[in-house]
A and B are shown apart, each in its own frame.
Chain A
Amino acid sequence: MAEIAWALGKILFMLVFVFTVLVVMIWGERKGSAFIQDRIGPNRASIGGVIRLGGLVHPVADVLKLLFKEDLVPGAVNRFFYTMAPFVVMVIALVTFAVLPFGDAIYLGDKVIPLRIADLDVGILYLLAITSLSVYGIVLAGWASNNKYTFLGGIRSTAQMISYEINMGLAVLALLLVYGSTRVDAMVVEQGQLLFGFLPRWGVFLQPLGFVLFLTSVFAETNRTPFDLAEGESELVSGYNIEYSSMKFALFFMAEYASMIVAAGFISSLYFGGWQVPWLDTITLREHAGTFLGVSLWVGAVFNLLFAALLWKRYRRERGLLGDRRELEPLVLGIVFFILALVCLGAVVIASPWNLGEQGAAHFATVVQVLSFILKTLFFSWLFIWVRWTLPRFRYDQLMKLGWQLMLPLGLLNFFVTAAVVLLAR
């Protein structure tokens, strides 16, 4: 019974994580593109005319709008497959998370609870299997919509998937050779050691070429610019999702971001140590948990006070400029930061001996590791946005050339060199 409760808890954590980051990513996409193109970006939606959070309210308004829109099904579509396609896309984007570890195992008394959802011996092969299915949602949508543009989007997507899946597989196989295990959690544990005594033993340092190949293939598999030929607004209107509206379209939209978040999680787990905090392994974290907690509380207090002061200054400076309730926002946020600073200070005073006990220290270490995983995932999620607004879309022949004539030979080379090195170093 407890097993099932823990499994459900972990699944819930992952879902909450993905959907929270998803909202942040939609915001980041809009604000990030605005930043890169030297615009201001969305800033109008507000709660009560006061809280705007620099556009973070917009995704909420979006979801509400899409939820209440009429669900329109065009007449000429294949209804069954048309309805199924968005679900397929979303499910496949989410289930990949099952093998991703987000923290070191928790010890509760004599019970060990690993922080990943499924205990799969095949591990990383599961990732390959599921991503190989991810194209079907798009193909289904493109074909069932009975529209030439959607259909072309579907065909392009299949061609792209065939070309880049092999490269991804080759990069992953080289990783298997390096770590000697198919399990993602074992791979992350391996990355906790140090290389030459100072460098974290991260996959990116062991497999630099493999990392570049993996990253590129992941961009292709998530249909993200510069590989978003399936959408190709300038050629195909909007590609495979033209005939979709309301929540069905929202599912496609969210699935794109969900698969990006999952991909970012895998990039950080396979090549950047996952939940490992660089230079701090689980044992060190537990030993010095009290000190770390104290320092981070002090830092938190100082920074919150700083934010509060800056926002107060801004409130004083901008008062009367807009002439409505929007001026109150810096004041409200400043008060929130001030309260947070007080909470941090209070915690410092209450927990001043900073002795957490063994169990507390272990929990502290887990929280820090989960935060480390979340931070890395957020960074790579941002990378997807960053690249999208920096690089233009590939032409179809460039896509094929890159996949088959450059990446495939490089992948094979990387694989053989890795195999030789592993064999000789044994």
Chain B
Amino acid sequence: MEALFFYLFGGLAVITALVTITRRDAVTSAFWLIACFLNVAALFAMLSAQFIAVMQILIYAGAIMVFFLFVTMFLGEPRRVRLNRGRAIPLISTVTVLLLAYLLMRITNTQHRGFPSISDSYGSVAMVSRKLLVDYVFLFEVTGLLLLVAVIGAVYVARKPRTGVGEGEGHV
């Protein structure tokens, strides 16, 4: 039963990911990417990682993709937003395939088969929060600070210039 669902969601995740990168239209791509994220969330849920599954939906499928869609739809006509694939594609894909092959080789060659098993409640909200807010609280707070700096930087970059060129236009 579990294997069935694993192959179902895993297969769907792979298929939707492939569809995502083969569409030429940015908005269509984005929709397929959302489907892919949802399948990945289902895989997380099957691993008893409920918290990560919900966060996958909430943050990736929910928040980030809404932003993606908003921006792609807002900039220019929806049917004209084409993805620029460029000339670097052969190079990038070669490197990616090589990396993937190397990774697969390492995984199949590894001596250490299987990971130590963890309890079913390991992925629960309480356990994840204990890890984040007690065991690794310093790293957690530093990450928060980093994100804050990024937000302030983004606001600074996006602000309207007070004087000089481009006055009245503003950067959107």
Tell me the A residues contacting B by CB distance below 8 Å: 78, 81, 120-123, 125-126, 128-130, 132-133, 135-136, 139-140, 143, 151, 154-155, 158-159, 161-162, 165, 182
Confirm or deny: B54 has a beta carbon within 8 angstroms of a beta carbon on chain A.
Answer: yes
CA distance A78 to B61 in the complex (A): 22
For the complex formed, measure the closest distance between the CB of B59 and the CB atoms of chain A, giving whole angstroms.
8
Q: Mark B156-170, 1 if CB is under 8 A from A, else 0.
A: 000000000000000
For the complex formed, measure the closest distance between the CB of A93 and the CB atoms of chain B, giving whole angstroms.
16
Q: In the complex, what residues of A have CB within 8 A of residue B51's CB?
A: 121-122, 125
The contact of B58 among A123, A132, A155, A159, by CB within 8 Å, is: A132
The answer to whether A182 touches B62, judged by C-beta atoms less than 8 angstroms apart, is: no
Q: In the complex, what residues of B have CB within 8 A of residue A126's CB?
A: 54
For the complex formed, measure the closest distance between the CB of A250 and the CB atoms of chain B, giving whole angstroms.
23
For the complex formed, measure the closest distance between the CB of B152 and the CB atoms of chain A, giving whole angstroms.
16
CA distance A128 to B54 in the complex (A): 9
A-B interface contact total, Cβ < 8 Å: 67
Q: In the complex, what residues of B have CB within 8 A of residue A162's CB?
A: 63, 66-67, 70
CA distance A155 to B75 in the complex (A): 11
B138-154 interface with A by 8 A CB criterion: none
Q: In the complex, what residues of A have CB within 8 A of residue B58's CB?
A: 125, 128-129, 132
Q: In the complex, what residues of B have CB within 8 A of residue A139's CB?
A: 69, 73
Q: In the complex, what residues of B have CB within 8 A of residue A78's CB?
A: 28
Confirm or deny: B115 has a beta carbon within 8 angstroms of a beta carbon on chain A.
Answer: no
The answer to whether B54 touches A155, judged by C-beta atoms less than 8 angstroms apart, is: no
CA distance A401 to B69 in the complex (A): 22
For the complex formed, measure the closest distance between the CB of A399 and the CB atoms of chain B, giving whole angstroms.
15
Q: Which residue from chain B places its CB closest to the CB of A128 in the assembled complex?
A: B58
Q: In the complex, what residues of A have CB within 8 A of residue B96's CB?
A: none
The answer to whether A125 touches B125, judged by C-beta atoms less than 8 angstroms apart, is: yes
Q: In the complex, what residues of A have CB within 8 A of residue B50's CB?
A: 120-122
The answer to whether B73 touches A129, judged by C-beta atoms less than 8 angstroms apart, is: no
The answer to whether A133 touches B62, judged by C-beta atoms less than 8 angstroms apart, is: yes
Confirm or deny: B6 has a beta carbon within 8 angstroms of a beta carbon on chain A.
Answer: no
The answer to whether B66 touches A155, judged by C-beta atoms less than 8 angstroms apart, is: no
The answer to whether A135 touches B66, judged by C-beta atoms less than 8 angstroms apart, is: yes
The answer to whether A132 touches B66, judged by C-beta atoms less than 8 angstroms apart, is: yes
Q: Which residue from chain A places its CB closest to the CB of B121 in the assembled complex?
A: A121
Q: In the complex, what residues of B have CB within 8 A of residue A136's CB?
A: 31, 34
The answer to whether B57 touches A129, judged by C-beta atoms less than 8 angstroms apart, is: yes
Q: In the complex, what residues of B have CB within 8 A of residue A120's CB?
A: 50
For the complex formed, measure the closest distance between the CB of B51 and the CB atoms of chain A, giving whole angstroms.
6
The answer to whether B54 touches A159, judged by C-beta atoms less than 8 angstroms apart, is: no
Q: Which residue from chain B places its CB closest to the CB of A121 in the assembled complex?
A: B124
The contact of A155 among B55, B73, B126, by CB within 8 Å, is: B73
Q: In the complex, what residues of A have CB within 8 A of residue B126's CB?
A: 121
Q: In the complex, what residues of B have CB within 8 A of residue A81's CB?
A: 28, 31
CA distance A133 to B61 in the complex (A): 7
Q: In the complex, what residues of A have CB within 8 A of residue B54's CB?
A: 122, 125-126, 128-129
Chain B contact residue count (CB 8 A cutoff): 25
The contact of A121 among B55, B62, B63, B125, by CB within 8 Å, is: B125
7 extra interchain contacts, Cβ-Cβ under 8 A, other than A132-B62, A136-B34?
A132-B61, A132-B63, A133-B62, A143-B27, A151-B73, A162-B63, A165-B62
Q: Which residue from chain B places its CB closest to the CB of A142 in the assembled complex?
A: B73
Confirm or deny: B78 has a beta carbon within 8 angstroms of a beta carbon on chain A.
Answer: yes
Q: Which residue from chain A places its CB closest to the CB of B41 in the assembled complex?
A: A129
Confirm or deny: B74 has a beta carbon within 8 angstroms of a beta carbon on chain A.
Answer: yes
Show 23 A/B contacts (Cβ-Cβ < 8 Å), sorted by A: A81-B31, A121-B121, A121-B125, A122-B50, A122-B53, A122-B125, A125-B54, A125-B55, A128-B58, A129-B55, A129-B58, A129-B62, A132-B63, A136-B34, A139-B69, A139-B73, A143-B78, A155-B73, A155-B74, A159-B70, A162-B70, A165-B62, A182-B125
For the complex formed, measure the closest distance between the CB of A354 and the CB atoms of chain B, giving whole angstroms.
44
CA distance A126 to B125 in the complex (A): 12
The answer to whether B62 touches A158, judged by C-beta atoms less than 8 angstroms apart, is: no
User: 8 closest pairs, A vs B, by CB?
Assistant: A132-B62, A129-B57, A129-B58, A158-B70, A121-B124, A122-B54, A129-B54, A125-B54
Q: In the complex, what residues of B have CB within 8 A of residue A133's CB?
A: 57, 61-62
For the complex formed, measure the closest distance between the CB of B64 and the CB atoms of chain A, giving whole angstroms.
10
Q: Which residue from chain B places its CB closest to the CB of A81 in the assembled complex?
A: B31
CA distance A143 to B28 in the complex (A): 10
Q: Which residue from chain B places its CB closest to the CB of A136 in the assembled complex?
A: B34
For the complex formed, measure the closest distance between the CB of A328 and the CB atoms of chain B, giving whole angstroms.
54
For the complex formed, measure the closest distance between the CB of A199 and the CB atoms of chain B, giving whole angstroms.
29
CA distance A151 to B61 in the complex (A): 20
Q: Which residue from chain A places its CB closest to the CB of B65 in the assembled complex?
A: A136
CA distance A126 to B57 in the complex (A): 9
Q: Which residue from chain B places its CB closest to the CB of A146 in the assembled complex?
A: B79
For the complex formed, measure the closest distance between the CB of A361 and the CB atoms of chain B, giving whole angstroms.
35
The answer to whether B57 touches A132, judged by C-beta atoms less than 8 angstroms apart, is: yes
Q: In the complex, what residues of A have CB within 8 A of residue B70's CB?
A: 155, 158-159, 162
For the complex formed, measure the closest distance between the CB of A126 and the CB atoms of chain B, giving whole angstroms.
6
- With contact pairs A122-B125, A139-B69, A159-B70 given, residues A165 and B57 touching in the complex (Cβ less than 8 Å): no
